[in-house]
């Protein structure tokens, strides 16, 4: 209990609690398994934000699966997108002719998903299917949508379950809003 309060002391309110996330992930995983073409999937996890979501989602998908991670950055620590998506890895996974499930923590302006999706298509993958834990209710600056969305949320800055503010709060087991 002390631990929970200690980790969550800066949190103003819980937006989506752990139980609700878990239930939603059961449904998302079933949907993905149903809709994905037969065969193996390459999941590409955008670091760092999507690692918690991806770990919990991918363990629920009962079929052959390869997991790759890509380190991209657009926020550089604050609460406003910098507008530039940086690829921080030296090389990309081999996705030639593969069906990719691209996972990110949250769809905000859409720049990250679009930049990575376009890049993977350039690399010759067969198709990019996109999944996010959260999608913010705001106009996208890039034409991109997620095929699989955990929760639609309002246009506010959230932390927890992988999402950070200045590198912190990723280990909160829920999605919440910080105190002002
Ligand atoms: P986009 O490129 O603007 O769609 O933003 C996506 C990236 O910005 C995500 O991968 C997150 O890392 C970060 N981001 C966007 N909104 C939030 C938020 O509310 N909290 C924490 N990170 C966020
Ligand atoms: Mg981030």
pLDDT digits (tens, 9 = 90+) for 51-93: 999 999 999 999 999 999 999 987 666 676 667 888 998 889 9
**CB of 112 closer than 6 A to ligand 1?**
yes
CA distance 67 to 41: 8
Pairing of strands 65-73, 86-87: antiparallel
Residues 145 and 164 sit within 8 Å (Cβ to Cβ): no
What number does the ligand 1 atom closest to the CA of 81 have? 3
How many domains does the chain fold into?
A: 1
CA distance 168 to 128: 30
What number does the ligand 1 atom closest to the CA of 112 have? 2
pLDDT at 144 over 60: yes
**CB of 116 closer than 6 A to ligand 1?**
no
Expressed in angstroms and rounded, the spacing between residue 119 Cα and the centre of ligand 2 is 20
Structural domain for 159, as ranges: 2-178
pLDDT at 7 over 80: no
Average pLDDT, the chain: 91
What phi and psi values does residue 45 have, to the nearest 5 degrees?
A: -100, 125
**CB of 106 closer than 6 A to ligand 1?**
yes
Output the DSSP codes for 145-160: --SEEEEEE-SS-EEB
**CB of 81 closer than 6 A to ligand 1?**
yes
Domain CATH code at residue 81: 3.40.50.2020
**CB of 109 closer than 6 A to ligand 1?**
yes
pTM: 0.93
pLDDT value of position 4: 56
Q: Whose CA is nearest to atom 3 of ligand 1?
A: 109
Choice from 52, 88, 105 to test ligand 1 binding pocket (greatest atom count within 8 A of CB): 105
The percent of residues in the chain predicted with pLDDT above 90, rounded, is: 75
- DSSP E strands, 48-178: 65-73, 86-87, 99-107, 127-136, 148-153, 158-159, 175-178
Active site residues: 108
The percent of residues in the chain predicted with pLDDT above 70, rounded, is: 92
């Amino acid at each position: 209990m002390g631990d929970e309060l200690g980790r969550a002391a800066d949190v103003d309110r819980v937006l989506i609690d752990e139980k609700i996330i878990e239930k939603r992930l059961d449904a998302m995983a079933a949907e993905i398994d149903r809709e994905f073409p037969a065969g193996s999937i390459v999941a590409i996890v955008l670091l760092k934000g999507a690692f918690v979501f991806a770990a919990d989602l991918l363990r629920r998908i009962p079929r052959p699966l390869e997991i790759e991670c890509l380190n991209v950055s657009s926020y550089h620590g604050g609460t406003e997108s910098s507008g530039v998506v940086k690829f921080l890895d030296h090389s990309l996974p081999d996705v030639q002719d593969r069906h990719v499930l691209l996972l990110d923590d949250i769809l905000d302006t859409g720049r990250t998903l679009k930049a990575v999706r376009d890049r993977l298509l350039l690399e010759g993958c067969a198709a990019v299917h996109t999944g996010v834990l959260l999608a913010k209710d705001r106009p996208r600056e890039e034409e991109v949508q997620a095929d699989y969305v955990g929760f639609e949320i309002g246009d506010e800055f959230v932390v927890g379950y992988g999402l950070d503010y200045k590198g912190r709060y990723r280990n909160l087991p829920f999605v919440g809003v910080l105190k002002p």
